[in-house]
Amino acid sequence: MEPVNATIIYDSATVHALAQAAAEGAEKAGANTRLRQVAELAPPDAIGAIVESLEQSIADLSGRLDAERRAPGGIGQQALDRDLEIHRLTGRLRALRRLGLDLCLGGMVGAAGGCGALAGTGVMTAGVWR
């Protein structure tokens, strides 16, 4: 099988670590990679708005997680549902704290254009975690 060629292009120092990790992962899988940084495309006020939204999302998730942990566990399905919600909130919170702007801004586009895979498990748009 012919090796895959992957060029990882990113426009910001905030996603450098994510781009570098993607390149390393592709190389470990046998791909030939190139890492290229282009000029910043987003205006500083847009980045600032995303940072504020990220901080607000972290605060909201932290509050919801604290409330779930303090809520009575119940029995049976109620206890299971509570534990699953705690697990879900913990995962989202961990991802936002660990990856921050990299998670919010990182994305990949295929060679043919169009939307490729998002580099992460969620995307933040207009203050909403999806």
pLDDT value at residue 81? 92
- Domain spans in the chain, listed from the N-terminal domain onward: 44-104+123-130
pLDDT value at residue 55? 85
- Assessment of whether the complete model's pTM goes beyond 0.85: no
pLDDT value at residue 54? 81
Written as six digits, the tokens of 108 are 């990949």
Local mean pLDDT, 10-residue blocks, the chain (130 residues): 78 76 87 83 73 85 93 89 93 82 54 45 42
- 104-129 pLDDT, tens digit per residue, is 555 544 555 444 444 443 444 444 44
Q: What is the dihedral of CA 97, 98, 104, 107, to 10 degrees?
A: -170
Cα–Cα distance measured from residue 59 to residue 130, given in angstroms and rounded to the nearest whole number = 16
Strand ranges (E), 1-130: 5-10, 32-37, 124-125, 128-129
